[in-house]
Structure 1
């Protein structure tokens, strides 16, 4: 199980934003160290989206010691100067590599985010197991707390999101009969608009190439076929009037 901890957050809205990102990417346990007041009518719940119904109300207030003692911890920090003389833990992993690095961890994991302005202190970083830093421009590497959490949790989605629960997100190609039906409707459309007969073969070949590269889904194919059919029928009705 992967939990998320927010240490000494100053802004309730950031806690709500993090809760929303947790909901987006399949996490449910939110731990708060020295949190601000989270008023059900305030910005934390306002920013939380559907996470206001379960993640925020069930958030647990804990101590930093609780996190260190009970979880394999990942410290998220904006520190980007990978200098072994200055960095508390060198080198830091990136969010893109984080999921792979946690695959074989036994026990519960906690991803820890620090304060809005100063992040986690060096003493806190030294007590956590892994350092994760988001690569950003050296001229302005500091991210908003909610943004940083969203990036990290997104990169953990292969460990937290069951993709089989979202089949509508998969790109399922249209079946061959449906595609051929679209080509037939396109042929009729060419005739309806009076496209020169000697050029129709070239137009059909071009359309087939474009459709082949597009690899449309069944729904896309059905929609295009319907559009060509409606256009053809309007043209034919206009000619009959």
Structure 2
């Protein structure tokens, strides 16, 4: 498994540099930038990056948000909210420690996604991501700045990048992203075929994405579920045609 760090629409170069430095501290090397600020080699980003100015920062790669969501198992980092099980945009969430535990041994290219300095990731962006991570903090002031949040999360995930002692037999071979996205597509077709109310489909699809994101299905499990939904969709379509 490779774990990339993605930063979406940061406005302050210094924050990108701070995140790059934390990546270097805790064994991460792949930095993905969505709509980044200009990173001047003589500016704040490189000044704040420490030794990460030598490799992490110059090798950072720009990427579109849609490509990020399509090609990686994604973990969106956001502030703690008051949402509960009736809502599926920022709930359920895991703490950084729980994310580390759930990703341990999973064979999937993963991206830990951080948002903007002031507003973080939008609900529309979070709806496209597979899991949600929140840092427990004081209810009086639970919001951390971008650099702090990234440092805490990456510290908790360090066992995934710095510990190489895990036995190969303990690894979980998660389905690749194309298979996972195909499973989401089959579920969407199934909802349409059974006549699930159109205005409720996006919510149902978010619930399903969160469920699958936590489950880390294997390739065989993903294929089996896709086959199930495909047959159910065909059956529902045929039944609808007979009713007409």
Q: TM-score range by the shorter chain?
A: 0.5 to 0.7
- Whether the 8 Å contact between 2:80 and 2:136 is mirrored in structure 1 is no
- Quick check: 1:81–1:87 contact (8 Å CA) kept in 2? no
- Secondary structure at the aligned position of 1:92 is classed as coil
Tell which structure's C-alpha radius of gyration is larger: 1
The alignment's C-alpha RMSD in Å is 1.4
State how far apart, in whole Å, the 2-side matches of 1:92 and 1:106 are. Answer: 21
SS of the equivalent of 1:146 reads: helix
C-alpha distance in 2 between matches for 1:94 and 1:86: 18
TM-score (norm 2): 0.65
- The answer as to 2:68 corresponding to 1:67 is yes
Instruction: Quote how far apart the aligned CAs of 1:48 are.
Output: 0.2
Gaps of 5+ in 2: 166-244
SS where residue 127 of structure 1 aligns?
A: coil
Structure 1 residue runs without a partner (length 5+)? 165-241
Per-residue CA distance 1:13-61 (angstroms, 9 max, x = gap): 0000000000000000000000000000000000000000000000000
Which residue number corresponds to residue 37 of structure 1?
38
* Cα distance per residue 1:84-127 (max 9 Å; x no partner): 34551422000121111112433200000000000000010010
- Cα distance between partner residues in 2 of 1:81 and 1:148: 19
The answer as to 2:123 corresponding to 1:114 is: no
Structure 1 residues 75-90: aligned runs within 5 Å: 75-86=76-87, 88-90=89-91
The Cα offsets for residues 215-239 of structure 1, whole Å up to 9 and x where unpaired, read as xxxxxxxxxxxxxxxxxxxxxxxxx
Q: In 2, distance between residues paired with 1:144 and 1:52?
A: 21
The ranges of structure 1 where at least 4 consecutive aligned residues each deviate by more than 6 angstroms after the TM superposition are: none
* Alignment correspondent of 2:183: none
Partner of 2:4: 3
Post-superposition shift, 1:163? 7.4
Offset of 1:162 from its aligned partner?
3.7
Q: Distance in 1 between matches of 2:3 and 2:128?
A: 18
The equivalent of 1:221 in structure 2 is: none
| 8 Å CA contact retained: 2:8, 2:34 | yes
Residue of structure 2 equivalent to 1:157: 158
Aligned residues: 164
